[in-house]
Amino acid sequence: MILIYLIINTFICLFLYLLILTFMKDNLLYYLSFSHFLGIGPMKFAALKKHFGSAKKAYLADKKEFLEVVGVSLTERFIDFRNKFDSVKKLDELKRKNIAVLTVDSDDYPESLKNISDPPICLYVKGNFNVIARSPSTLLRVNSATKQSPKDSVGPIFITRESHHPASRDGPLESEKIIPTSSFKIFFAIVGTRNPTSYGIQVARKFAYELATAGFIIVSGMAYGIDTIAHQSCLDAGGKTIAVLGCGVDIVYPAANRNLYEKIIEFGGAVVSEFPPGQFVLKGLFVARNRIISALSHGVMIVEGAKDSGSLITARYAAEQGKDVFAPPSPITSDMSAAPNLLLKQGAKLVTTVEDIYEEFDMKITPKKKEDILEKLSKEEKEIFILLNEKPQLIDNLLFKLKKPINQVLNILSLMEINGVVEKNNENKYQIRL
């Protein structure tokens, strides 16, 4: 009797699970369709959804109702698009290209992006989906007098918020440490001119490298110049970086950055865009992507730029979104100093070291050092750590090099994952977690 009950209960659970999956996929198709119709952007999409009650109802609305919201000309174009566009076929194409899709109303959509006035209908992700997907910034609060075991201290960076005022409901007690869990992410944007001076190159490299070493995820636009240096320096530090494109994520722009594009994905970062795959570069799209760079980030640093630099647009978006804007002191004799110096006049935070950024966020960062981690590991864990420190490895490669039974290696890796030392990337390879 109990066995029959368990079988029935299992089938019911499976049925409900499949039903939910079908519902989610069904809804995804309508968001995907709207995203591929470039005549309807985030604002018009929000108006349609509000008018009809859902993306599905809006997409399937009859012509008369639709034109009441967007007008005759756009309705004619949309109806023609709807008759030709095959969303199921398009979704299958994205799966073949390993491109993930986040809709504005999905639980995984980044909260900071959802909160702007015009969040993208869809966010397309090539690479590590988890690095961009929303995750709760769960904070473990412990008294600073609490002792941590060696295993407890092996994990991501820890952040201590210095208290300069009595404790309140919004902040911890003065004696408390705020320790992010492994899901906690700090995004920071570094952008600037495509034609940096040697000074700008040094500044971008210094801040990107040191912030990445401290666990920050560096966000930029993968353009020539400062963007490229920021991404590459982050990778050099063993960190993760996010490239926000002004074209489809399957298009490498500029083409000369193909190696960088592949490295960003290979080492656990992501390439993202609100524009559907296949969308080629158009001048106006770069302005739109700048708001995503700033929205994703806790703060934005403008390294260099002329007086008409596109990085000033990113800074303006950041200010409108309530984000901190940072700029380094720059020589007044250089044309590329115009943008940061203007921002400093307007109230941007002057930075000369990464500690200035930590201070502005009211944080004290203690970077996780590989040497510190290594000395706390067991002999078997050290062997794996040394191999993964060279480059990410598939389990088969590890087994071949370690010459140990698979169960033993998997058990060690599981323990190292739990303790925040290693993780799997999007290629199913194990790598050092930074």
What is the residue-averaged pLDDT of the chain?
A: 82
Q: Are 329 and 301 in contact (CB under 8 A)?
A: no
From CA 381, how far away is CA 362, in angstroms rounded? 35
Say if residue 169's pLDDT is above 60.
Answer: no
Q: What does the pLDDT look like over 91-117, one tens digit per residue?
A: 999 999 999 999 999 999 999 999 999
Q: Is the pLDDT of residue 415 over 80?
A: yes
In this prediction, residues 40-68 reach a mean pLDDT of 94
In the numeric block, the tokens 């910034």 are attached to 137
Residue, of 23 and 1, whose pLDDT is higher: 1
Provide the pLDDT confidence category of residue 15 given band limits of 50, 70 and 90. very low
CB 401 within 8 A of CB 136: no
Residue 410's pLDDT is 92
Yes or no: say if 234 and 210 are a contact pair by the CB < 8 Å rule. no
Higher-confidence position of 163 and 65: 65
Between residues 361 and 58, the one the model is more confident about: 58
Query: Measured between alpha carbons, how far is residue 199 from residues 204, 226, 302, 346 in Å?
Result: 9, 11, 13, 22
Q: Is the peptide bond before 136 cis (omega within 30 degrees of 0)?
A: no
pLDDT band at 362 (very low <50, low <70, confident <90, very high): confident
pLDDT of residue 85 exceeding 50, the answer is yes
* Model confidence at 52: pLDDT above 70: yes
Check whether 388 has a pLDDT greater than 60: yes
CA nearest neighbour of 421 among 236, 235, 150:
150
Give mean pLDDT, residues 293-315. 95
pLDDT value, residue 278: 93
Which of 10-14, 68-72, 414-418: highest mean pLDDT? 68-72
Please determine, for residue 305, whether its predicted confidence score (pLDDT) is greater than 70: yes
For residue 101, give both structure tokens.
Answer: 């899709």
pLDDT confidence band for 133 (50 / 70 / 90) = confident
Q: What is the pLDDT of residue 26?
A: 53
Residue 11 scores a pLDDT above 80: no
Give the H or E element holding residue 286.
helix 283-296
Q: SS3 of 176, please?
A: strand
**Among 27-36, 320-329, 355-364, which is the least confidently predicted range?**
355-364
Residue 27 has pLDDT above 90, yes or no: no
Looking at residue 138, its pLDDT comes to: 29
Residue 149: predicted pLDDT: 31
145: pLDDT strictly greater than 60:
no
pLDDT in the model for residue 32: 96
Task: Please tell me which of 76-85, 150-159, 165-174 the model is most confident about, judged by mean pLDDT.
Answer: 76-85
The answer for residues whose C-beta is within 8 angstroms of residue 240's C-beta and 6 or more apart is 128, 131, 212, 217, 218, 234, 267, 268, 269, 434
Range in 151-155, 324-328, 366-370, 380-384 with the lowest mean pLDDT: 151-155
Select from 105, 92, 99, 116 the least CA-distant residue to 34: 105
Average pLDDT rounded to a whole number, residues 258-269 = 97
Structure tokens at 432: 């050092």
Structural domains in the chain plus CATH codes: 2-96 (no CATH), 187-366 (3.40.50.450), 370-432 (1.10.10)
**Band of pLDDT at residue 351, cut at 50, 70 and 90:** very high
pTM: 0.70
Residue 159 pLDDT exceeds 90: no
What percentage of the chain has pLDDT greater than the value 90?
Answer: 64
Task: Please report how many Cα atoms fall inside a 13 Å half-sphere around the Cα of residue 358, on the Cβ side.
Answer: 21
